[in-house]
Each structure stands twice: as structure tokens, then as C-alpha cells.
Structure 1
Amino acid sequence: MAENKIFAGPRVRRIRNGLSLTQTAMAEALGISPSYLNLIERNQRPLTVQLLLKLASVYKVDLEELQGETGGGLAQLREVFADPLLAAELPGDQELIEVAEAAPNAAGGVVKLYRAYREQAARLKDLADLLAGQGHMEALSGARLPMDEVRETLEARPNHFARIEEVAEAFHAALSPGDDLIGALKAWLKKEHGLVVRNLPVHAMPNLRRRFDRHSMRLFISERLSPHDQLREIAMEVASIACHEAIVQELETLRLATAEARRIGRFELARYAAHALMMPYGAFHAAALRARYDIDVLRARFQVSFEQAANRLTMLQRPGAAAVPFFLMEIDNAGHRLRRSGASGFPQARFGGGCPKLNIHAAFSVPGQILVDRVETTEGLAFLTMSRTLDGPQAGFEERVRRTALLIGCEASFADDVVYGAVRSPAIAIGAACRLCERQGCLARAEPPVTRPLGLDEMATGLSVFDFQ
């Protein structure tokens, strides 16, 4: 059987440095030349059995130390470089192994620095949430990604853009699509701009929802998308052309700092314009009042998805024709927040949205079913919430289905105007988020509050995992 070669140069160097020996002195004691020892320390020559035995006898070295893995140091470095910020930096583990072996103290320092960074980021987030929960503006200035800037800007303002609404409603009236909006939009694109819409199979466009080919003047739509999402993609293309000036004007009001943020903001406004085009304000507002905001009735009436109809409800704030001020939040099954919006901005300070007892989390256990709850915050504010799962693009046989959950809510004072308000179950006690909530004995608590010291008592244990004073 072939003998495994042992390359342990950095470990030999550490032994030599620990004994304050020169390469010449160690080489003489081992009966080899200094140049050969130099090659060993640079991992250009393996350790022979004779050299292993010599190291063990002369310097009392444990052979396991020379033959073993890098152990915890390598595992901790893997944890650091698994972070999304660093995941693409290394093609494999080889460089991590070299660092862990050659410079274990430096590797330990990198791990400590990374963990301090994570802890500091968590503390800053807690502080920002606390300030927001107290109604203060977030004065923390830090490096933000352009997507974060756009999200925070849109979440803090009403989800209503008057210029886009007016232009989209006028365009829809002039188009007069009848019951075939998608056909009318395709015909307009072809007639006015020579642009042809085509559906492409998954193998031809595996990673895109849509793509505009300027050379052939064709708009390709993925067949992964549902008919409702295909309609929205086409409507976005039309809105980008027909509502261009209105989108530019509304984009200026957002005052986004960077070109990348403005590009993302322009995309979000085009999506908004698509909804306004698919569900014109006047007709949708009238239908919403008649149906008492029954989302399933509205989705059938306008031939859109549940998500599109629910999203449109948060936009109905035209002066003189305003509707119930709904707010909306979408998460994935890992709890990551994907978006938040509202008729008056997302009510972060009053509603929070981070409580694990909200029905948006329970929705994943009953896909497709609407869950309705009345909830009450620690400040005594009451809300009516409706949650339901949403299915993403069609997955292939070997792919995992993408499913998110949507929560749409309003203040409980509007419950009599909403069909879902007929549910009269007792109010569920919620908090803004575990780190900001001071409810005692909460079975759902996942973290201790930052505002109270932990109550560590060996003689008594409370119902919550994290007891506090």
C-alpha cells in the first residue's frame, strides 16, 4: 500500500521558532542539510518516517501534532468565509488550510475580528430598531447597500405615487383592453414600437424572468412564470415606455443618493406602474369598496394574483378617494424580510412586524389558506392581520419550490369595513420584536430584550427561555 506523504512545514517551523533555533542548528540536530530543512518548512519536501522519529526523540514532539488536521482553527475559518460577503473570495479550502497551518495566531485573530463584527452589527440593528420603536429617526450613518437605501426609503413613505396613477389610468382608458389586457398590451407594443413578445422555455432562459433583445426587438418572457406574473412583466415593459416621464418625476422625489440606488428605484416604480396599469385606480377602488376588500374577489375580478391584488390595496390613497390604509410585509420561510410597504409607510414604530406569534409564520403550515387574527401590541394598539403563502416561479423536478408568505394588515378600527373583520377571535398579544419586547412569560420569545437585564436565578426558572428582571 502506498505510504501517505506528510507535509507539515509550518508546524516544523513553529517548533523551531518556539525553541529559538536557527535552521542550521535544527538541521544539524536532525542530521540533514539546512537547505533540505528549508524545503521541508516550505512544504516542498515531505517528512520521512526517519525524520518524524528524529523530531520525536530529539525535541520530544508529539507525532499526532505533526500528522493531525488543523482542527478547530480551520473549522472557524470556514465559518468566517461562509459569510455571503466573503463566500466568493476562495475557490476551495486549500488557502484556508495553509493559513490555519502557517499562521494559527493570525487565523485566530481573523476569527475574533469576524465575530466582533457580527456582534457589533447585531447590536447596531437592535439599537436602530429601538430608536425606530420609540418614534425617533435613525441617525446611525453607516455603509448601506443601494438596495437597502431603496427599501428604507420606500418603507418610510406612503405607497402612493399620484403622477404614475394618473398617467397609467389614462393610458388604460385609451387602450380600452376589455377582458384581454395581455393581448392589448402585446398588440400596443408591436404596433407602436415594433416589439414582439415571446415566451421562452426554461432551457433557453434558465435564470431570467424576462429579457429585452434590442437587436431583434423581442421581449422574452420565461415560461416558469404564472400567467399573472407574465402579465405583470409585460405591463412593466409597457409602463416603462408609456409612464416614463411620470416615473422619472417620482424618482426625483425619492432623493436616492447613488446611481445604483436610482436604477433600483426606477425598477420598483416601473413595477408600481405595472400594477396601476393592470388595476386602474378608479375601477379597483370601486370594486374594493363593493367587495369590502375581499382579496380573492378582487383577484378574480381583475384576473391578477393574490399578491398583486393585496399589493394594490396598499396603494389606494388618492386624495378624495382614499381606501382603508393597509400595510404589507413579505417574508420567506427562514424569516428573512423581503419587503414592507404601507398606505402611510410601513408602521414599524407601532406594529413592528418582528414578532414570531404573527400569523405570517403560521401560514407556511397551511399553504394557500388565509389566516386572520386580531393582534394587540404592548402599547395597547390593535391591528387586523391576514396572512397567506405565495408560490414563486414554477420549479423543475430537481428544484425546491420557492414559497413566501404575505401579511396584509390595517388598524383594528377599520375592521368593520373589511370582510375579514368578521373574525372575532380574542386578540393575540404581540411585540415589535423579541429584542424590544418586555412581555413576561412569552412562550415564543427567541431573544432577551436589550432594554432589561437577564434574571438568572438557579432556584426558579420562568416559562420563557430568556428570563429577565
Structure 2
Amino acid sequence: MAENKIFAGPRVRRIRNGLQLTQTAMAEALGISPSYLNLIERNQRPLTVQLLLKLASVYKVDLDELQGEVGGSLQQLREVFADPLLTGELPGDQELIEVTEAAPNVAGGIVKLYRAYREQASRLKDLAEVLAGQGHMAAVSDTRLPIDEVREAFEARPNHFTRIEEAVEAFHASLSAGDDLTGALKAWLKKEQGLAVRTLPLHVMPNLRRRFDRHSMRLFISERLSPFDQAREVAMEVASIACHEAITAELEQFRLSTAEARRIGRFELARYAAHALMMPYTTFHAAALRAKYDIDILRARFQVSFEQAANRLTMLQRPGAAGVPFFLVEMDNAGHRLRRAGAQGFPHARFGGACPKLNIHAAFAVPGQILVDRVEMPDGSAYLVIARTVDGPQAGYQERVRRTAVLIGCEVGFADDTVYGAARMPPIAVGPACRLCERQGCLARAEPPVTRPLGLDEMATGLSVFDFQ
């Protein structure tokens, strides 16, 4: 069996320099010529088994140090060069491997500088939000992925698109769907586009939600999706075709900077149009008023999921027929915010949505149950917040369920307009996020506020290691 060649020149050089030996002295001890050792250190010759054993016996070198991979440092450098600021700088990992092996301290310094840069960027962003809340504008440049650009654009404006709503209502009126909207949409696709819809089993389409086969003119949908999500996929396909002009017109208003951002933005607008098609504005708004915005009643009435009905509630802002101005945030159990939207734009500055005391985090402990709280911000503003978990695609045996949680809220002044406002509970003191919150004595604090210096005192210790002055 052929031996694996071990090229470890930079590591041999570090060992020699650490022992303060010349190449001549080390070569003599190993029984090789100085020129051969020089070739080894420049990775022009591999280490033989005999040399490995000699290094181990003469200099007490750990063989794992010579044969082991530089995985930890290499992975950290990959993280650095994956930043959008450096995208495209490196064609592959070879240069990173060379830097990590030849100059591990330099690699460590690069990683430290990058982490400091990200921390400062995060602090500047937090301070910009503080200033924005006080009515001051502060432009903070930051590297953004296309998805970040799209999210910021959507979150900053009301979650209502008039052109799409009008186009969808006109199309829905011509459809005569009756009680079987999904069946009517499939029939429309077949008749008008020659497009058939088929659900595929997991073993045939294991990694996709949907796939359009242009050659056979079929739309394949994964059986992993719930019936509600399958219906949304069909509605998205129909809306993308029937309301193409309205979606394009709304997309142009965002002035997104890249083709990838525009592709993501078009997908989000098609998703919006699908919700509008599944829950037509006039009918849904009337039902919401009658049910006092009871999401479970609405999801049963329109045969949609909790998440779909909650999303639709944030879209009810038609002039002259507006509903309660709800906002929504979706999060996973690791705290990643996946979606934020608001009837009047997501309230970043006042509400934030990142406080660990919000019931969206507690919802994961009681899957499927609805949790209702009244919360109060440091500035005195108060909100009614409703949280519940939602499950993702069907998981197979030995797969973990993808579970997220949705929080939908409104200012407490609208609480009596909803079925959830009937319960009178004392408000919970929360904040926009730990780094923007100046509440003292908070048991849930995870980070110090960026607006106050730490108040370390040897004589007195507070409830948090992040005590501040």
C-alpha cells in the first residue's frame, strides 16, 4: 500500500527555531544533509517514516503535531474570508492552508482582527439604532449579503402592497374557486399554462420544497410539506404568473442593488401574493373583525396554517379598511430572527424583538400552545404579544423537527379589539435588546448596554456580571 506523503516543512522549521538550532545542527542530529533539510522545510520533500521517528526520539516531538491537520485555524480563516467584504478574494483553500501552516501566529492575528472588526460593527449598528430612536440619522456602513439587503428593505416599510392586492383580487374574482381554492388553482395552471402539479415522495425529491420541470411542464411539490404549505406553493406559482406585472412594479420600488437581491425580493413578493390569494383582503378583513383577530378561528375558516394567518394579519392596511396594525417576528430556538414584518413597518427602535424575556422564547417549552403577554418597554410603551411554535416540513425517522416560533403583537391600545386582550395580566418589563436596554437588576441580561460603562465594584456585586453605571 502506498504511503501518504507528509509535507510539514513549516512545522519542522518552527520546531527548529523553537530549539534555536541551525539547519546544519538539526540535519547532523537527524543524519541527513543540510540541503535535504532545507528542501523539507520548503515543502519540496516529504517527511519519511524514518525521519518522523527520528524527530520523535531526538527532540521528543509529538507525531500528531507533525501529521495532524490545522483544522481549527483553517476553519476560523474560512469564516473570515467568507465575509461579503472579502468574497472572491481567494479561489480555494490552498492559500489559507499555506498561511495557517507557515505562519500560525499571523493566522491567529487575522482572526482576532476580524472578530474585533465584527464587534465594532455590531456596536456601531446598536448605537445607530439608539440614535434613530431619538430622531437622529446615523449612516453606518456594513457588509451585507443580498438577503440582508432584502430583509432591511421589507422590514422598514408597511407590509402592504396595493398593486399586488388589487391584481390578486381581480384574478380571484375571475377564478370562481368556491370552497376548493387549491383545486381551482391547479385547474387554472393546467388550462392556461399546460402545467400539471404533482406531489413527489421523499426518496424522489429529498432536498427540495418544489421544482418546476420546464421540459415536462410539471410542478413537483415535496410530500414533506403540510397541506397548507403545499397549497401556498401552488398559490405562489399561480400568483407569479397571473400577477407578474404587479409584482415587478412593486419590486422596482425597492431599488435593490444586485440581481441576487432582486431574485430574493421577487420570491418574497410572490409569497405575499400567495397569502393574498389564499386569504382575499375583503373577506379576510371582515372575518378578522368578526372573530376579533382570533388566529385559530381564521386559520380554520380559510384552511391555512397559524403562521400563514398570522402573516396575513400584518398585511391589513388598506386605506379605509385597515385592521389592527400588527407586527410579526419569526425566530428559531437558537435565537436567529428569520422574518420580521409590520403593518406599519417593523418597530425596531421601540420594540426591538430581541429581549430574552419575550414569550416567543418560552413558546419552545410548550409546543403548539398560544402564550399571551402584555409587555412594557423602558420608555413606557406597551404591547400585547402572542406567541406560538410552528413546525416546518415533515421530518423523517431520526431527523429533528424544524420548529420555529412566531410572535405577533400590537400596541396595547388595540388589545381590546382582539380576543387576546380579554385577560388582564400585569405587564412584563422587557427591552428592545440587551445591548440597547438600560434596565438595572435584570435577571435575563446577557450583554452590557453599549450606552453605559461597566460598573465593576469589588465591594458589591449585582445580579448580573454586566452591571453598569
Taking structure 2 as the reference length, what is the TM-score of the superposition? 0.89
Kindly provide the amino acid, as one letter, of the partner of residue 63 in structure 1.
K
Kindly provide the amino acid, as one letter, of the partner of residue 127 in structure 1.
L
**1:459 positional shift:** 1.5
Kindly provide the amino acid, as one letter, of the partner of residue 178 in structure 1.
G
Secondary structure class of the residue paired with 1:224: coil
The answer for the alignment partner of 2:47 in structure 1 is 45
Residues 64-83 of structure 1: matches in 2 within 5 Å?
64=61, 68=65, 75-81=72-78
Residues 407-418 of structure 1: matches in 2 within 5 Å?
407-418=407-418
Contact 2:331 2:405 in 1 (8 A): yes
Cα gap change, 1:314 to 1:49, in 2 (>3 Å): closer
Mapped to 1, the partners of 2:380 and 2:118 lie a distance apart of 34
Contact 2:8 2:47 in 1 (8 A): no
Residues 395-414 of structure 1: matches in 2 within 5 Å?
395-414=395-414
The answer for the alignment partner of 1:366 in structure 2 is 366
**1:467 positional shift:** 0.8
Secondary structure class of the residue paired with 2:253: helix
Contact 2:5 2:47 in 1 (8 A): no
Contact 1:328 1:341 in 2 (8 A): yes
Cα gap change, 1:63 to 1:390, in 2 (>3 Å): same
Kindly provide the amino acid, as one letter, of the partner of residue 264 in structure 1.
I
Gaps of 5+ in 1: 57-61
Cα gap change, 1:426 to 1:230, in 2 (>3 Å): same
Kindly provide the amino acid, as one letter, of the partner of residue 235 in structure 1.
A
The answer for the alignment partner of 1:305 in structure 2 is 305
Residue-by-residue CA offset, 1:94-152 (whole Å, 9 max, x unaligned): 99776544323323333323332332333233234333443444511233211111110
The answer for the alignment partner of 1:243 in structure 2 is 243
The answer for the alignment partner of 1:422 in structure 2 is 422
Contact 2:352 2:433 in 1 (8 A): yes
Task: Say yes or no: does 1:390 pair with 2:387.
Answer: no
**1:318 positional shift:** 0.6
For structure 1, which segment, 110-119 or 67-76, has the greater mean C-alpha deviation from structure 2 after superposition?
Answer: 67-76
Secondary structure class of the residue paired with 2:401: coil
Kindly provide the amino acid, as one letter, of the partner of residue 149 in structure 1.
E
Residues 68-107 of structure 1: matches in 2 within 5 Å?
68=65, 75-81=72-78, 85=82, 99-107=99-107
Cα gap change, 1:218 to 1:461, in 2 (>3 Å): same
Kindly provide the amino acid, as one letter, of the partner of residue 440 in structure 1.
Q
Residue-by-residue CA offset, 1:251-286 (whole Å, 9 max, x unaligned): 122222222211111111111111111111110010
**1:78 positional shift:** 3.9
Mapped to 1, the partners of 2:258 and 2:252 lie a distance apart of 12
Mapped to 2, the partners of 1:155 and 1:239 lie a distance apart of 22
**1:166 positional shift:** 1.1
Cα gap change, 1:9 to 1:189, in 2 (>3 Å): closer
The answer for the alignment partner of 1:134 in structure 2 is 134
Contact 2:77 2:107 in 1 (8 A): no
The answer for the alignment partner of 2:145 in structure 1 is 145
Mapped to 1, the partners of 2:235 and 2:30 lie a distance apart of 78
Contact 1:224 1:393 in 2 (8 A): yes
**1:351 positional shift:** 1.0
Task: Say yes or no: does 1:431 pair with 2:421.
Answer: no
For structure 1, which segment, 163-172 or 320-329, has the greater mean C-alpha deviation from structure 2 after superposition?
Answer: 163-172
Contact 2:8 2:67 in 1 (8 A): no
The answer for the alignment partner of 2:229 in structure 1 is 229
Mapped to 1, the partners of 2:6 and 2:217 lie a distance apart of 62
Mapped to 1, the partners of 2:411 and 2:56 lie a distance apart of 78
The answer for the alignment partner of 1:267 in structure 2 is 267
Cα gap change, 1:213 to 1:32, in 2 (>3 Å): closer
Secondary structure class of the residue paired with 1:444: coil
Contact 2:11 2:101 in 1 (8 A): yes
Residue-by-residue CA offset, 1:213-266 (whole Å, 9 max, x unaligned): 111111111111111111110001110111111111111222222222111111
Mapped to 1, the partners of 2:107 and 2:255 lie a distance apart of 43
Contact 1:307 1:406 in 2 (8 A): yes
Identity over aligned pairs, percent:
77
The answer for the alignment partner of 1:154 in structure 2 is 154
Secondary structure class of the residue paired with 1:228: helix
Cα gap change, 1:405 to 1:18, in 2 (>3 Å): closer
Taking structure 1 as the reference length, what is the TM-score of the superposition? 0.89
Mapped to 2, the partners of 1:279 and 1:446 lie a distance apart of 40
Secondary structure class of the residue paired with 1:405: strand
Residue-by-residue CA offset, 1:368-390 (whole Å, 9 max, x unaligned): 11100001100000110000001
Contact 2:6 2:67 in 1 (8 A): no
Contact 1:74 1:97 in 2 (8 A): no
The answer for the alignment partner of 1:465 in structure 2 is 465
Mapped to 1, the partners of 2:168 and 2:198 lie a distance apart of 24
The answer for the alignment partner of 1:277 in structure 2 is 277
Contact 2:80 2:114 in 1 (8 A): no
Secondary structure class of the residue paired with 2:110: helix
Task: Say yes or no: does 1:442 pair with 2:442.
Answer: yes
Contact 2:8 2:46 in 1 (8 A): no
For structure 1, which segment, 257-266 or 340-349, has the greater mean C-alpha deviation from structure 2 after superposition?
Answer: 257-266
RMSD (CA atoms) = 3.1
Contact 1:367 1:389 in 2 (8 A): yes
Mapped to 1, the partners of 2:398 and 2:75 lie a distance apart of 28
Secondary structure class of the residue paired with 2:395: coil
**1:18 positional shift:** 6.6
Kindly provide the amino acid, as one letter, of the partner of residue 82 in structure 2.
L
Kindly provide the amino acid, as one letter, of the partner of residue 111 in structure 1.
V
Contact 1:392 1:402 in 2 (8 A): yes
Residues 163-202 of structure 1: matches in 2 within 5 Å?
163-202=163-202
Kindly provide the amino acid, as one letter, of the partner of residue 342 in structure 1.
G
Mapped to 1, the partners of 2:237 and 2:328 lie a distance apart of 25
Mapped to 2, the partners of 1:261 and 1:78 lie a distance apart of 27
**1:395 positional shift:** 0.7
Cα gap change, 1:70 to 1:428, in 2 (>3 Å): farther
Mapped to 2, the partners of 1:320 and 1:376 lie a distance apart of 30
Kindly provide the amino acid, as one letter, of the partner of residue 374 in structure 2.
R
Mapped to 2, the partners of 1:234 and 1:150 lie a distance apart of 23
Kindly provide the amino acid, as one letter, of the partner of residue 335 in structure 1.
G
Contact 1:6 1:67 in 2 (8 A): no
Mapped to 2, the partners of 1:414 and 1:124 lie a distance apart of 34
Task: Say yes or no: does 1:322 pair with 2:322.
Answer: yes
Contact 2:374 2:427 in 1 (8 A): yes
Residue-by-residue CA offset, 1:19-66 (whole Å, 9 max, x unaligned): 887645654576532333234433513354885489x5xxxxx52477
Mapped to 2, the partners of 1:136 and 1:267 lie a distance apart of 33
Contact 1:353 1:433 in 2 (8 A): yes
Contact 2:156 2:346 in 1 (8 A): yes
